[in-house]
A and B are shown apart, each in its own frame.
Chain A
Amino acid sequence: MNERHKEPSEIMDDGVEAALSRLTPEKIQAVINSVLKGETGARFKAYMDTCIHCGLCSEACQFFLSRDRDPHYSPVGKVKQTVWPMVKNKGRVDTDFIRRAVRIAHTECNLCKRCVAFCPFGIDIAYLMTVVRRIIHKLGATPLYLQDTAHSHASTMNQMWVKEDEWIDTLQWQEDEARAEIPSLRIPLDKEGAEIMYSVIAPEPKFQAQLIYQAAAIMHVAGVDWTMPSDIGWDNSDMAMFTGDYEIMGRIKRTHFEAATRLRVKKIVMGECGHAFRSVYDTGNRWLGWAQPPVPIVHAIAFYYDLLKTGKLRIARKYSHPVTLHDPCNVVRGGGLHEKARYVVHQLCDNLIEMHPNREHNYCCGAGGGVINCGPPYKNARVAGNRVKAEQLFDAKSRGAHTLIAPCHNCHSGLHDIVHHHGIDLEIKFFSDIIYECMEKPDGSE
């Protein structure tokens, strides 16, 4: 903590540097033009031609607001530093430019789309940043840590290099643990014809196996007919979406949907993750050619909402501490789940202390869009780039909030870093933590 904070421009990323050392101006130009000409279309052109350079989008961006309104961090400012010169110079840019573009597109934009709601023309700057990322991917210059997750997806079909036996072992281990509490509980593997396939992100079996335990307990108590795949397709996460490696993104999404089809389930329920929802519900299925997911996809928030609303889950005693709720961009601006999330909060807790702005106008946690996955080199810059969130959290804390509910893995980690860095005394929880703690457990297991 004592070391001098690096300026973002001083951060060195070994993966990026290695790639840059191999690039030539010709290669850079060829790649940029192949993407701009071959992979963009009317939308890109309309955004470029319509933007009147008014700067209204600036107010939207947590980076801009947190960095003392430095214009380099405004949404249109990021476009100016990346897309405009590429287009204007017909791809003739140097490696220093690419280094800067990597930093901007990968670590200074969360692809949160907040700016869309601030631009009078609805220009989707997140989309423009993904075009830059696609170019960077094709140049092989994706930040090292993020690229590692994409490699893992490509070779294991999950984000965390989890091997097949590890996966099954973890499920059995959690089942064993849970049976000590609820003896009749099962984690049904490969149950064909079940109503629901439950999928998670790979960090769950890797680091947070108790979340699988909790999910199993909730499924069991609610009497849900569910299953999990033992084979590939169990991981719904997708870092390839954020590296711009859409070929891999397509493969992992297809694998995920195919697991559901193989099991002949009616729908997929997914854990509390935002980016995975974006991938399954929006980005990945589009790449595969479906306007809507081929198997209906239900985010945990909507799932808990249904269980509570229909009385399949009952709350034995409400959570005693005042809570505040973080709206994850990907399920709020990405799926409109903010009111359902509030319903779930009110079922669980008596005292919700809202942060402002909230719902569709929330600030991103700063981790989203793969920014946190760019790893340790960028961590301090990331936290510094989201002072506005820290201020929101401080404010909620000062109004009595004790627990911060963050129904998204990325948000969890990003908020944890912010809370930790600023010493904000908030306990961060998933919905499932609180539901598990507060629900009626009819097996008399308590």
Chain B
Amino acid sequence: MTSLYAFVAGPLAWAAFLFFFGGLCYRLLSMLRQVRQSEPFIFSYMSLRYSLRSILHWLIPFFAMGWRRNPILTGVTFIFHISLIAAPVFIVSHVVLWDEAWNLSWWTLPDAVVDVMTLVVVAACLFFALRRVLRPEVRFVSDASDYLLLVLTAAPFVTGFLAYHQWPAGPWMTIAHMVSGELLLALIPFTRLRHMLSGWLTRAYIGSEFGAVRHARDW
């Protein structure tokens, strides 16, 4: 048991972070290389000012027309994404691990808050899944991979919640939590979850084009 824990907390964690950061870097570099090779004009249209303008407008909930026309999803997706990132980064038990391993430590959130955020993430994933089934235009473009992504995303939160509350007691849930979290991290760059990186870039490009060439808002 302890050797399994050591493996999951050691080499597997290393591998997950390697895949995550390495994968994202690889994605970014190969995208830039491809732009240079086949669409160098994209560089000449990119504008920092208009990229940021577009991104900032889209970061405000309910501001862009696209958000406003889908208010419920907008509300859910904002608290989902905030919780999704804040909970694992600011939970005490993770920060402690960083502290022990690297002597790095930062601000933490109270456990009760993280607990709620965890439930928010899980509930949001359920909402996304339900929406996929119920909204015809979303169902039409959904396949198994979309539901798998939701499971992949929810898994570390479900298991983390259960492990924290010791249901069932014992180390297994903690190990499941670690494995599912590592799996999620490792797969982000290799699934559509890489939107966490590429979404900023596509927005930046279209924001530049709309700002500097089309002189029109893109939100």
Binding site for B on A (CB under 8 A): 40-43, 45-47, 49-60, 64, 69, 71-72, 74, 76-77, 80, 116-124, 282, 286, 291-292, 332-338, 357, 360-361
Spot the interface stretch: B62-70, B97-105, B158-166.
B62-70
Known: A46-B198, A59-B66, A121-B203. A77 touches B137 (CB 8 A): yes
27 examples of A-B residue contacts, CB within 8 angstroms: A40-B38, A41-B35, A41-B39, A43-B35, A46-B31, A46-B201, A49-B194, A50-B192, A50-B195, A50-B199, A52-B192, A52-B195, A53-B146, A54-B73, A55-B138, A56-B69, A57-B66, A74-B137, A118-B69, A120-B203, A122-B54, A282-B214, A291-B41, A334-B214, A335-B215, A360-B216, A361-B65
Residue numbers in B under 8 Å from A53 (CB-CB): 138, 141-142, 146, 192
Residue numbers in B under 8 Å from A357 (CB-CB): 65
Task: Report yes or no: B31 in contact with A121, Cβ–Cβ below 8 A.
Answer: no
Task: Report yes or no: A76 in contact with B141, Cβ–Cβ below 8 A.
Answer: yes
- Mask: chain B, 188-199; 1 = CB below 8 Å from A; 0 = not: 000010110011
Spot the interface stretch: B108-116, B170-178, B205-213.
B205-213
Task: Report yes or no: B205 in contact with A43, Cβ–Cβ below 8 A.
Answer: yes
Residue numbers in B under 8 Å from A286 (CB-CB): 41
Residue numbers in B under 8 Å from A69 (CB-CB): 136-137
Q: Nearest 9 CB-CB pairs, A to B?
A: A336-B215, A41-B38, A122-B206, A71-B140, A118-B66, A42-B34, A55-B138, A71-B137, A59-B69
Give the residue name and chain of the A residue nearest to B199 (CB).
Answer: A121
Residue B17 interfacial (CB < 8 Å): no
Residue numbers in B under 8 Å from A46 (CB-CB): 31, 198, 201-202
Residue B90 interfacial (CB < 8 Å): no
Task: Report yes or no: A124 in contact with B217, Cβ–Cβ below 8 A.
Answer: no
Task: Report yes or no: B42 in contact with A336, Cβ–Cβ below 8 A.
Answer: no
Residue numbers in B under 8 Å from A337 (CB-CB): 215
Task: Report yes or no: B34 in contact with A41, Cβ–Cβ below 8 A.
Answer: yes
Min CB–CB distance B23 → chain A (angstroms): 12
Residue numbers in A under 8 Å from B138 (CB-CB): 53-55
Min CB–CB distance A101 → chain B (angstroms): 16
Complex formed: what's the CA distance from A46 to B201 in Å? 9
Known: A42-B38, A117-B65, A336-B214. A71 touches B198 (CB 8 A): no
Min CB–CB distance B60 → chain A (angstroms): 12
The residue that B206 contacts in the complex, of A51, A74, A124, A291, with Cβ under 8 A, is A124
Min CB–CB distance B129 → chain A (angstroms): 12
Residue numbers in A under 8 Å from B195 (CB-CB): 49-50, 52, 121
Min CB–CB distance B16 → chain A (angstroms): 21
Task: Report yes or no: A49 in contact with B192, Cβ–Cβ below 8 A.
Answer: yes
Give the residue name and chain of the A residue nearest to B211 (CB).
Answer: A336
Complex formed: what's the CA distance from A133 to B119 in Å? 46
Known: A50-B195, A117-B66. A43 touches B217 (CB 8 A): no
Complex formed: what's the CA distance from A267 to B139 in Å? 50
Residue B3 interfacial (CB < 8 Å): no
Residue numbers in A under 8 Å from B54 (CB-CB): 122
CB proximity to A under 8 Å, residues B27-47: 31-32, 34-35, 37-39, 41-42, 44-45
Task: Report yes or no: B202 in contact with A50, Cβ–Cβ below 8 A.
Answer: yes
Task: Report yes or no: A123 in contact with B140, Cβ–Cβ below 8 A.
Answer: no
Task: Report yes or no: B141 in contact with A116, Cβ–Cβ below 8 A.
Answer: no
Binding site for A on B (CB under 8 A): 31-32, 34-35, 37-39, 41-42, 44-45, 54, 58, 64-67, 69-70, 73, 135-142, 146, 192, 194-195, 198-199, 201-203, 205-207, 210, 213-219
Task: Report yes or no: B141 in contact with A80, Cβ–Cβ below 8 A.
Answer: yes
Residue numbers in B under 8 Å from A117 (CB-CB): 64-66, 217-219
Residue numbers in B under 8 Å from A116 (CB-CB): 206, 210, 218
Complex formed: what's the CA distance from A74 to B141 in Å? 10
Complex formed: what's the CA distance from A117 to B34 in Å? 25
Min CB–CB distance B142 → chain A (angstroms): 6
Residue numbers in A under 8 Å from B210 (CB-CB): 116, 333
Known: A50-B194, A120-B199, A122-B202. A58 touches B137 (CB 8 A): yes
Residue numbers in B under 8 Å from A121 (CB-CB): 195, 198-199, 202-203
Min CB–CB distance B162 → chain A (angstroms): 27
Give the residue name and chain of the B residue nearest to A118 (CB).
Answer: B66
Complex formed: what's the CA distance from A56 to B135 in Å? 11
Task: Report yes or no: A332 in contact with B141, Cβ–Cβ below 8 A.
Answer: no
Complex formed: what's the CA distance from A337 to B198 in Å? 31
Complex formed: what's the CA distance from A175 to B138 in Å? 57
Complex formed: what's the CA distance from A40 to B205 in Å? 16
Known: A59-B70, A71-B141, A120-B66. A335 touches B34 (CB 8 A): no
Min CB–CB distance A284 → chain B (angstroms): 13
Of A42, A56, A291, most buried by chain B (CB within 10 Å of CB) is A42
Complex formed: what's the CA distance from A122 to B42 in Å? 15
Residue numbers in A under 8 Å from B194 (CB-CB): 49-50
Task: Report yes or no: A123 in contact with B202, Cβ–Cβ below 8 A.
Answer: yes
Known: A41-B35, A53-B146. A77 touches B66 (CB 8 A): no
Min CB–CB distance A231 → chain B (angstroms): 30
Residue numbers in B under 8 Å from A76 (CB-CB): 137, 141
Complex formed: what's the CA distance from A59 to B72 in Å? 14
Known: A41-B34, A50-B202, A336-B216. A118 touches B65 (CB 8 A): yes
Residue numbers in B under 8 Å from A122 (CB-CB): 54, 202-203, 205-207, 218
Task: Report yes or no: A64 in contact with B137, Cβ–Cβ below 8 A.
Answer: yes
